[in-house]
Amino acid sequence: MYKIGFIGLGIMGKPMARNLLKAGYSLIIYDINAEAVKELVKEGAAEGRSSCDVASQSEAIITMLPNSPEVKEVILGKDGIINGVKSGSVVIDMSSIAPLVSRELAEELLKKGVAMLDAPVSGGEPKAIEGTLAIMVGGPEDAFNKVKDILGKMGATVNLVGEIGSGNITKLANQIIVALNIAAIGEAMVLATKAGVNPEKVYQAIRGGLAGSTALDAKMPMILNGNFKPGFRIELHIKDLKNALATAKELGVQDILTSKVLEIMEALKEDGKAKDDHGGIIQFYEKLAKVEVRKQ
């Protein structure tokens, strides 16, 4: 069984690493958050001294980090993976980053005889805890086949969608759809509430039809309870939409609705709500309409 390195034990990374431990994998971990490391060490993980140290002791190395700069530093930095990784290993970056950065990193690792997969996830903290994430993978098929079983311990669906970078392109498409869906929920439910119709009854009436969605079922109970604890933070969704727009610009694609939702999220960030769950997008509409969508 593979010895796995895991770097990045945040809201998503910690439960993902925990599911690998539960599956019986030997895990060596590293994070700048000492408390998160201690928690998983108590559950059976070994502690690495650095990203380089983790890589030197692992056959597969998973990174789960906030954005492109952090991933580049962890992989290519002075104490990075590239300085400890062994030829024949597989690096699996499960962060959501710019696709061009994934390709750049893969080229550098290939010089060391190391394959890289970009494998971002969707589902947020609840599905990370359950081990039922959707995992979208880009990279060489032989490397994917080596680690597919590992990914399957963290996700309900694991799909190879193309070459390196394809995983993050797929994730950007996912994040556009999710953001627009949640914004539409906010507009619709504020309209219904302002008109004097019980939003919970509206939700129950429409969820079985074409307007029904995973996003609606995940976010409406939270909205009705005024619960905007992440989940998936608005500030992280802002990062993803910025990556989506940058990629669209490179490709000559017009992402008009994405730009508008990004403006809404930026406004919420200015209001101090950057760390709210992205279901909190509705608060933008509530503020304008001077109404709250809550259980009645």
Where in the sequence numbering do the catalytic residues fall? 171
State how far the Cα of 113 lies from the Cα of 87, in Å rounded to an integer. Answer: 5
Number of Cβ within a 10 Å radius of residue 29? 26
Residues 6+ apart with CB under 8 A from 211: 188
Contact by Cβ (8 Å): 214, 234 = no
Amino acid at 285: Y
What backbone phi and psi angles, to 5 degrees, belong to 134?
-95, 125
Contact by Cβ (8 Å): 154, 130 = no
Structural tokens at position 188: 């619709």
As a whole number of Å, the CA-based R_g of the chain is 20
What backbone phi and psi angles, to 5 degrees, belong to 230?
-75, 150
